[in-house]
């Protein structure tokens, strides 16, 4: 093996080590997806995202192998009226958490590939503005977990 290639391998290993030691930029907790009632093909997912870095991160993309479309939405209440708005760039401030919970922020999961029921697991992949990504398994639940 030429010396130059050996050197490149060394650099690559070093970078992997650095990336591993740094840990994930963002972690997820309290993850669940509300099971859809019969005839409904839009589901909502809830979770808490925690930013472990010292800079504000933006959620740039969410995808799932089980849905054709995943977007961030927010339910807003104004004078007793509920409306939903798309949130294309959800910000997570440095060392803080953002809660996606019923009646507020949520992931809108549309066009499921197959029907999903209580107990099923769905993989969700998040990509952030620092190019880091996070993949989690979200359980489908009929009832909201006790918080």
Partner 1 sequence: MRFKKPLYYVLAAVLAVLIGLGIGYWTFGRQREVTDSGALVLHPPKPLPAFGLEADTRSPFTLASLHGHWSFLYFGYTHCPDVCPTTLADLGKMSTQLADLPAASRPTVYFISVDPKRDTPGVLARYLRYFNADFVGVSGAPDQLQLLTHALGVSFSYDPPDQSDNYSVEHSSVVFLINPEAEEAAVFTSPIVPLRMADDYRIILTQHGDR
The residue ranges that bind partner 1 (CB under 8 A) are 34, 37-40, 42-44, 69, 73, 75, 77, 80-84, 102-103, 106, 108-111, 143-144
Q: Least distance from C-beta 10 to partner 1, angstroms?
A: 49
Q: How far is the CB of 36 from partner 1 (least distance, A)?
A: 8
Residue closer to partner 1, measured from CB, 94 or 144: 144
Count CA within 13 A, CB hemisphere, residue 32.
16
Minimum separation from the CB atom of position 39 to partner 1 (A): 5
| Cα distances (Å, whole numbers) of residue 87 to 23, 56, 65, 78, 84 | 27, 16, 21, 17, 9
- Choice between 37 and 54, CB closer to partner 1: 37
Query: In the structure encoding, which two tokens stand for residue 3, read together?
Result: 């010396």
| Distance separating alpha carbons of residues 139 and 106, to the nearest angstrom | 15
Closer by beta carbon to partner 1, 57 or else 108: 108
User: What is the nearest approach in angstroms of partner 1 to the Cβ of residue 35?
Assistant: 9
DSSP labels, 66-105: TEEEEEEEEEEEETTEEEEEE-SSEEE-TT-EEEE-TTSE
Residue closer to partner 1, measured from CB, 42 or 61: 42
The span from the CA of 102 to the CA of 145, in Å, is 11
CB of 102 to partner 1, least distance (A): 4
Residue closer to partner 1 (CB basis): 42 or 58:
42
Which H/E stretch holds residue 124? strand 121-128
């Amino acid at each position: 093996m030429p010396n130059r290639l050996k050197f490149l391998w060394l650099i690559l290993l070093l970078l992997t080590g650095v990336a591993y030691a740094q840990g994930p930029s963002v972690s997820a907790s309290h993850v669940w997806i509300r099971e859809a009632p019969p005839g409904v093909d839009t589901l909502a997912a809830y979770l808490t995202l925690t930013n472990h870095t010292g800079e504000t991160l933006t959620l740039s993309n969410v995808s799932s192998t089980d849905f054709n479309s995943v977007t961030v939405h927010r339910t807003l209440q104004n004078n007793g009226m509920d409306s939903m708005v798309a949130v294309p760039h959800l910000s997570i401030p440095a060392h803080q958490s953002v809660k996606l919970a019923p009646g507020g922020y949520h992931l809108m999961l549309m066009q499921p590939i197959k029907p999903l029921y209580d107990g099923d697991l769905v993989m969700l992949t998040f990509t952030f503005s620092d190019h880091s990504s996070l993949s989690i398994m979200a359980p489908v639940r009929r009832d909201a977990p006790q918080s």
